[in-house]
Each structure stands twice: as structure tokens, then as C-alpha cells.
């Protein structure tokens, strides 16, 4: 069978014998009842595990709406108008509402970026600010020792509403929910304490209830107090196709279930060889972004197998810190040890690569210099076909193969893993 994988603005084609091919994993084609702002409005009218937002607030209260920063795909400008309408309808004044962009470990925004994220109407009507890690209030400590230090404007609010999008997250299980708070509006010290748990085997994509890192995030949310969430699921074009609103656990789990229906891909067994790409430009512009496909591919490969990662990476590594961590390490395990000592944005993805390398070899088909690829423990290959041919010689004519043309979106679930969202 001829398989095609997006590679920059072109493709990489691979001929795989039918007898070797276990599966080609693609997002499930689904009809969505509501999309865009109408999906958000419906969710607000039908909250999960909670009363309607309008019944949880009263005039005169200070409202903090926490939403995503510029690095996330959440279309806040579509989600915020229905939320504001609901608040205004019960007498909340625009002057009592603050939209807080959750920076986590990321840089501050320009005013134009804030305007874009919030949308023109929201930006003009209410106060829009970045979270401030240097102006936080200490509210307590979780059972796992994470300080709950929350940016002041959120900590001092009477009502806290968290917006977000739900997608698979490689150590928090899923994005969304209380993640808007931790790490969204927390201090570097709190983020380090929480994210050091990323090396725990249970801290993985698609797992919630038994995931210590996610449980720590939600305990921080409880200590702060999250009154309401509005979380959306996006399709491959980053359009809203579902929304869940209400309690920060129950509504979040509902959204996770919908995401699973779209992107969770059961597999009968793990493969000797996994061919994976991000789907081409712009998702494979650099290795930092292409790593998302690698992270999901690890669930499809046998221990001791090989992942063939296909991504043009025409803009290079994508992060100076990511590159520095990789080239400075003397072994893949050094990266895992280092993240346990100190979380650093960019370094966390290098550690994730190290964790995959402890399971499987990684070939990289890219535009990166071979010398650089070798220095970061990967095997450079001139083409996906060459990489596959070499792997087939290594694992034999009966080698099992899984293909993931949209690796960043599809999560392989081995047959022996019977958990659903981590529920055992």
C-alpha cells in the first residue's frame, strides 16, 4: 500500500506491504450537532454538574475569566461573547470583569495580541490583563507538595471562570479544566513542583483519574476555588465542534469523552515500526512542534521498536532551550534526570524525547543537518522510504507496521489498556 505523509508543503510517500500493515490511524469522521459560538451558547444553557453561570453570580461581584495565551489554539474571541452576555444578563457590570490571559511559563503579550485573543468587543468592554507570576497570593499547598500561589487578580476575585480547549496532553492527560489555573496563573516554583511529576509513568496522554500530575492540578483548583469552566473541542482546522460547561471536573470529563470519540484510536497490538508525521506545514515547521507527533507515536511502538518521524523542520529546532538541553545531554536518560531536578519550558520537551528514546529508536526525516540530528540521539534519514526499507531489513519480512499521518491528533490505545480517561 502506498502511504502519504505531509512533509512541509509536500509529501513523503512510503510503499508498505499490505501483510505488514496493522493500521493506519486517522481522526474519526463525525457529524457535529453544533459548531462555533452556537456550541458555546448551548453548553452555557445546559451546564454539567453545575447550575447555570447566571445563577452562580450576582451584581457587584468581581469576576475573573481565565483564558489561554497566544501559544494555545483556543479561539477565545468566540468563547468570550456568550460568557459576557450571560454575565451581563444578571447585572454584572463590565467594570467588574477581568479577562486574565494565563501565561504559565510563557512570555507576556503585546496589546495587539491581547486584542486579537479577546476579540474587539471584549477587549473594548472589559479589562484584559496578563497573569503576573511576580504578584501572587499563597493559598496553600497540595498533598503532593505543590504550592498554590495564584496571580492576585484571580486569587482576589469573587468568581472564577476558566476557559480552555481540550486536547490530549502528554503528561497532564488532557488540556483544559483546572489546567487554566495550574500552571496557567501560577508561579514558576509552583509549576516546577507540579511538572516534576511528568516522569511518572501514569502521567501520560489520555489518562486523568490515576494521573498524579492531573490530580495535583485539580487539587490546586479546589484550593483556589473554580466556579465554572467553559471548554471546547476543536477539529483539525481548529474550529469549535463541541463545548462542555459547568463543574471543573464533570464538564471537563464530558469534553474529554467527546475528544476521545474523535481522536482516540484503539490498536490490536503495538508495532515494530511506526511511521508518523504531524501532517505537514505549518505543524512540522520545527522539531519543537513535530515532537507532538512523536509523543503519541510512542504508544503505538513496541519496546525496542523504531519510530520513523517525518517532519520537514524547515525552521530548525524551534526553541533554543529545547536544542540546548538535547545537545548538552550525554544520554537520553540525562534529560529525564534533569527535568526531575528543574522544570524549564523547552527543556520539558527535550525530556519527553529522552523518555521516548528509552523505549524505541527514532529515525528523523527532515531538513535538519545530519550532524545536528545525530548529536541529539536521533538517526537522520534521507527519505521516509529509505528509513522504512532499513527498518524492515532490521525487523524482518514479518515486521508489524502502524502508520500515523496525523500523529499530533491521534492517540493510539493498545488493546491491553482498558482504561477510559484513566478510570480503572
Kindly state the percentage of the chain with pLDDT values over 70: 98
304, exposed or middle or buried, with CB in 10 Å at 0-12, 13-18, 19+? Answer: exposed
pLDDT at 7 over 50: yes
| Residue 416 binned pLDDT confidence (cut-offs 50, 70, 90) | low
pLDDT classification of 238: cutoffs 50, 70, 90: confident
- Give the helix ranges, DSSP H, for 31-162: 36-45, 53-56, 76-89, 111-118, 120-125, 152-155
What pLDDT, in 10s, does the model give residues 148-162?
999 999 999 999 999
Pairing between β-strand 21-24 and β-strand 401-404 as defined by DSSP bridges = parallel
Residue with the three cell numbers 451558547: 41
Flag whether pLDDT at 415 surpasses 50. Answer: yes
SS (H, E, C) 219-275: HHHHHHCCCEEEEEEECCCCCEEEEEEECCCHHHHHHHHHHHHHHEEEECCCEEEEE
Residue 309: cis peptide before it, omega within 30 degrees of 0 = no
Residue 423 is predicted with a pLDDT of: 43
CA distances from 411 to 169, 210, 309, 407, 424 (A): 10, 18, 15, 8, 19
**Whole-prediction pTM:** 0.87
Is residue 101 within 8 A of residue 114, CB to CB? The reply is yes
Q: How far apart are the first and last CA of the chain?
A: 38
> Which pLDDT tens digit goes with each residue over 281-307?
888 999 998 999 999 999 999 999 999
- Report the pLDDT value the prediction gives residue 345, as an integer from 0 to 100: 77
The Cα–Cα gap between 277 and 292 comes to 9
What's the mean per-residue pLDDT of the chain?
93
Chain position carrying cell 486536547: 167
| Per-residue model confidence as pLDDT tens digits over 104-151 | 877 788 899 999 999 999 999 999 999 999 899 999 999 999 999 999
Relative orientation angle of helices 347-357 and 332-341, to the nearest 10 degrees: 140
The per-residue pLDDT for range 111-121, each reduced to its tens digit, is: 999 999 999 99
DSSP assigned state of 104: T
The secondary structure element, H or E, covering residue 207 is none
Give 330: exposed, middle or buried? Use CB within 10 Å, 0-12, 13-18, 19+: exposed
| Residue 229, strand partner residues | 162, 246
Q: What is the pLDDT of residues 367-382, one digit of tens each?
A: 999 999 999 999 999 9
CA distance 383 to 172: 33
Amino acid at each position: 500500500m502506498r502511504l502519504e505523509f505531509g512533509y512541509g508543503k509536500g509529501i513523503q510517500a512510503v510503499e508498505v506491504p499490505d501483510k505488514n500493515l496493522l493500521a493506519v490511524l486517522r481522526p474519526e469522521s463525525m457529524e457535529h450537532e453544533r459548531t462555533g459560538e452556537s456550541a458555546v451558547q448551548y453548553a452555557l444553557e445546559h451546564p454539567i454538574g453545575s447550575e447555570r453561570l447566571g445563577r452562580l453570580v450576582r451584581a457587584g461581584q468581581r469576576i475573573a475569566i481565565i483564558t489561554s495565551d497566544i501559544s494555545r489554539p483556543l479561539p477565545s474571541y468566540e468563547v468570550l461573547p456568550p460568557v459576557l452576555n450571560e454575565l451581563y444578563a444578571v447585572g454584572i457590570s463590565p467594570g467588574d470583569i477581568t479577562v486574565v490571559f494565563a501565561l504559565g511559563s510563557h512570555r507576556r503579550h503585546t496589546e495587539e495580541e491581547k486584542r486579537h485573543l479577546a476579540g474587539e468587543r471584549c477587549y473594548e468592554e472589559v479589562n484584559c490583563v496578563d497573569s503576573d507570576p511576580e504578584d501572587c497570593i499563597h493559598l496553600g499547598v497540595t498533598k503532593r507538595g505543590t504550592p498554590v500561589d495564584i496571580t492576585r487578580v484571580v486569587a482576589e476575585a469573587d468568581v472564577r471562570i476558566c476557559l480552555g480547549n481540550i486536547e490530549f496532553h502528554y503528561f497532564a492527560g488532557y488540556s483544559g479544566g483546572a489546567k487554566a489555573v495550574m500552571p496557567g496563573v501560577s508561579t514558576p516554583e509552583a509549576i516546577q513542583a507540579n511538572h516534576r511529576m511528568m516522569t511518572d509513568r501514569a502521567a501520560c496522554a489520555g489518562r486523568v483519574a490515576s494521573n498524579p500530575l492531573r490530580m495535583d492540578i485539580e487539587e490546586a483548583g479546589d484550593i483556589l476555588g473554580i466556579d465554572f469552566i467553559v471548554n471546547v473541542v476543536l477539529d483539525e482546522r481548529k474550529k469549535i465542534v463541541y463545548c462542555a460547561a459547568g463543574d471543573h471536573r464533570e464538564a471537563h470529563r464530558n469534553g474529554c469523552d467527546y475528544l476521545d470519540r474523535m481522536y482516540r484510536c484503539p490498536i490490536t497490538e503495538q508495532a515494530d515500526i511506526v511511521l508518523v508525521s504531524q501532517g505537514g506545514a505549518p505543524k512540522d515547521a520545527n522539531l519543537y512542534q513535530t515532537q507532538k507527533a512523536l509523543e503519541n507515536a510512542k504508544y503505538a511502538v513496541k519496546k525496542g521498536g523504531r519510530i520513523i518521524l517525518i517532519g520537514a523542520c524547515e525552521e530548525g529546532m524551534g526553541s533554543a532551550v529545547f536544542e540546548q538541553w538535547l545537545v548538552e545531554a550525554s544520554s537520553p536518560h540525562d534529560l529525564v534526570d534533569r527535568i526531575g531536578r528543574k522544570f524549564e519550558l523547552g527543556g520539558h520537551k527535550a525530556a519527553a524525547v529522552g523518555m521516548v528514546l528509552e523505549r524505541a529508536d527514532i529515525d528523523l526525516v527532515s531538513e535538519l543537518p545530519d550532524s545536528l540530528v545525530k548529536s541529539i540521539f536521533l538517526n537522520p534519514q534521507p527519505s521516509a522510504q529509505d528509513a522504512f526499507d532499513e527498518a524492515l531489513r532490521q525487523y524482518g519480512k514479518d515486521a508489524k507496521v502502524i502508520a500515523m499521518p496525523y500523529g499530533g491528533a491521534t492517540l493510539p490505545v493498545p488493546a491491553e489498556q482498558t482504561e477510559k480517561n484513566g478510570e480503572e
